[in-house]
């Protein structure tokens, strides 16, 4: 009898011979059993403002204890963390930090949440899962920044402990996902629906890259899909691209493109649309009803917050999000 195994974590579904490592670089078949190579071995540990993730409707002005291990389920040519996401675990300077220690450190530093981020947290699923369970017991929230490239069963299991997710919806074409990321769009859309269905607070980030995914027709189509399938309350962040990794030959996204994308999204019906990587008033949160300034931000920092008990201080309407 052979000792081949099949990973059932992400839609790639790697089939691994004995001692073969998965495409994510973090899972190995040892004598017919699949093991994680990165459990308790984060290569990035930092305390960040939650706005950096970005979460704009989740515990504003709090800090997130942020961790990542090496590896990724995709291979995006524009990755900003490619030094760790496209590395083998042994190629990174990781430390040993157990799930208990992560939660202990988060509490020690007064962080309201633990965020699984920087690389794709799906690759350190078991580490994230165990940490999230412990964190929840101590009333520390769990959030993740993910590409959403994960199968339904593990995502539903994780959602029991995950409070919020920011998902990169990288484009709205299968062609982009295939050529630029080495993945597929459909599983990401499915994940967004699952997260919504499980009651996880959801925000979406779309990195707008010149010539590759900046077609306003496609952006409109994407926004319509969001409104129809996830509702108009989901915050959407349009982020400005800068030349990086394998896409150094492209220019930075013109600010006008981000502005047009934002206007398009709001025309379609999304209530909370933000711009990222650009300093502008589109970093602020405005009440969707009375248009008053609710949260004023400069970069990752909150200058004023006019949301009281989850409601607009000026007109009293409920503002979607998790505010306390």
Contacts of 31 (CB under 8 A, 6+ apart): 3, 18
Tokens of 249: 């030959």
Among 34, 45, 266, 293, binds another protein (CB under 8 A): 34
Contacts of 195 (CB under 8 A, 6+ apart): 148, 155, 159, 165, 167, 202
Beta carbon of residue 106, minimum distance to another protein (angstroms, whole number): 17
Q: Is the peptide bond before 54 cis (omega within 30 degrees of 0)?
A: yes
Beta carbon of residue 136, minimum distance to another protein (angstroms, whole number): 17
Among 12, 36, 63, 85, binds another protein (CB under 8 A): 36
Query: Is the separation of the CB atoms in 130 and 99 below 8 Å?
Result: yes
Beta carbon of residue 14, minimum distance to another protein (angstroms, whole number): 9
Q: Is 6 in the site for another protein (CB under 8 A)?
A: yes
DSSP E strand boundaries for 50-108 = 63-68
Among 48, 126, 198, 296, binds another protein (CB under 8 A): 126
Among 12, 23, 25, 40, binds another protein (CB under 8 A): 40
Q: Is 189 in the site for another protein (CB under 8 A)?
A: no
Beta carbon of residue 194, minimum distance to another protein (angstroms, whole number): 15
Tokens of 4: 């081949």
Cα–Cα dist 106/121, whole Å: 18
Q: Whose CA is closest to 43, among 77, 83, 75?
A: 83
To which residue do tokens 């006008």 refer?
A: 256
Residue range at the interface with another protein (CB under 8 A); choices 24-32, 162-170, 211-219, 257-265? 24-32
Query: Is the separation of the CB atoms in 69 and 91 below 8 Å?
Result: no
How many chain residues bind another protein (CB under 8 A)? Answer: 31
Among 58, 78, 116, 125, binds another protein (CB under 8 A): 125
To which residue do tokens 């157990």 refer?
A: 98
Cα–Cα dist 103/231, whole Å: 33
Chain Cα centroid distance, residue 183: 16
From residue 71 to residue 110, what is the string marking binding to another protein with x (rule CB under 8 A)?
-------------------------x-x------------
Residue range at the interface with another protein (CB under 8 A); choices 4-12, 209-217, 251-259, 296-304? 4-12
From residue 156 to residue 175, what is the string marking binding to another protein with x (rule CB under 8 A)?
-x------------------
Residues binding another protein (CB under 8 A) = 1-9, 15, 27, 30, 32-37, 39-41, 96, 98, 125-127, 129, 151, 153-154, 157
């Amino acid at each position: 009898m052979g000792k081949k195994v099949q990973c059932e974590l992400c839609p790639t579904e790697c089939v691994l011979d004995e001692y073969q490592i998965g495409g994510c670089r973090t899972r190995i078949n040892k004598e017919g059993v699949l093991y994680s190579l990165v459990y308790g071995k984060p290569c990035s540990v930092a305390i960040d403002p939650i706005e950096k993730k970005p979460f704009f409707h989740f515990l504003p002005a709090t800090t997130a204890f942020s961790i990542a291990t090496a590896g990724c389920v995709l291979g995006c040519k524009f990755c900003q963390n490619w030094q760790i996401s496209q590395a083998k675990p042994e190629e990174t300077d990781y430390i040993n930090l157990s799930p208990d220690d992560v939660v202990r450190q988060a509490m020690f530093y007064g962080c309201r949440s633990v965020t699984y981020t920087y690389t794709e947290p799906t690759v350190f699923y078991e580490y994230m899962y165990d940490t999230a369970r412990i964190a929840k017991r101590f009333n520390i929230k769990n959030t993740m920044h993910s590409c959403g490239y994960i199968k339904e069963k593990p995502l539903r299991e994780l959602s029991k402990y995950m409070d919020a997710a920011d998902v990169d919806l990288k484009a709205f074409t299968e062609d982009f996902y295939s050529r630029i990321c080495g993945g597929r769009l459909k599983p990401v859309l499915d994940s967004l629906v699952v997260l919504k269905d499980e009651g996880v607070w959801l925000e979406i980030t779309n990195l707008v890259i010149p010539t590759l995914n900046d077609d306003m027709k496609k952006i409109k189509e994407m926004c319509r899909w969001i409104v129809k399938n996830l509702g108009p309350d989901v915050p959407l962040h349009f982020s400005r691209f800068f030349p990086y990794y394998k896409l150094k030959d492209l220019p930075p996204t013109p600010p006008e493109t981000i502005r047009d994308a934002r206007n398009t999204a709001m025309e379609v019906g999304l209530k909370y649309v933000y711009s990222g990587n650009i300093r502008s008033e589109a970093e602020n949160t405005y009440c969707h009803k009375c248009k008053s300034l609710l949260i004023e931000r400069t970069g990752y920092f909150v200058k004023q917050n006019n949301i009281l008990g989850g409601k607009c201080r000026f007109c009293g309407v409920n503002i979607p999000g998790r505010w306390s």
